[in-house]
Amino acid sequence: MNRKAERGAATRDRVLAIATRLFAEHGYEGTSIETVLHESGLSRGALYHHYAGKDALFEAVLEAVETEVGRRIADTVRDAVSPEQALRLGVLAWIRLAGDEVVRRIVLVDAPSVLGWEKWREVEARHAFGMLRGALRATGAVRDDHLGMYAHMLLAAINEVALLVARTGETDRAERVVDDLLGRLLAAPPSR
């Protein structure tokens, strides 16, 4: 198993790249399988041999994008000297990355609707959310039994800022606001 497997993998990658671009440009609904077929030069049968359907193709695209984003954030955070700095660097890197329309449209806007919120959450847990949760735990700022929910809230907040920045370009204000928010969160916990 070599030539055949390689050929198959290459085809999948090619379709994936094209589908990623189209989904980002025109959204899930606005992208037709027909167009993917045309741009990839593949036949209908071939595509459905590799991907079970349009949803499955989208899911594969999402997975690839998330993996790439996770890799980049991990790179950025690698040499942070404290959990707090790691959290801050990771969050700012994520906002910067979400400046890419591919990330915005596919990961943040369409994914929950197309795959369903639960499936989306499951994917996120293996990537961005997982990293954020780990970073937040390391700072010790949040009670353990509040950790999961807190990480969710924080990620959702950050995602929103990323979408806002993409629209208005207020990058510097976003950095100040995020710093402000993290400052409040990492201050002495009230814990009631």
Partner DNA sequence: AAAATAACCGACCGTTGGTCGGTATGTCTA
Partner DNA sequence: TAGACATACCGACCAACGGTCGGTTATTTT
Considering the complex, what minimum distance in angstroms separates the CB of residue 115 from its own copies? 10
By CB under 8 A, name the one of 22, 107, 114, 131 that touches its own copies.
114
CA atoms in the 13 A half-sphere facing the CB of 76: 20
By CB under 8 A, name the one of 37, 46, 109, 125 that touches its own copies.
109
Closer residue to DNA, CB minimum distance, 29 or 160: 29
What count of other Cβ atoms lies within 10 Å of the Cβ of residue 161? 21
> Can you say how many angstroms the Cα of residue 156 is from the centroid of all Cα atoms in its chain?
12
d(CA 78, CA 28): 34
Sites of contact with DNA (CB under 7 A): 1-5, 7-8, 11, 31-35, 42-46, 48-50, 52-55
d(CA 84, CA 90): 10
The entry of DNA, its own copies, none near residue 44 (CB within 5 to 8 angstroms by kind) is DNA
Q: What are the φ/ψ torsions at residue 79 (nearest 5 degrees)?
A: -105, 45
Considering the complex, what minimum distance in angstroms separates the CB of residue 158 from its own copies? 8
- Which DSSP state fits 106? I
Considering the complex, what minimum distance in angstroms separates the CB of residue 22 from DNA? 10
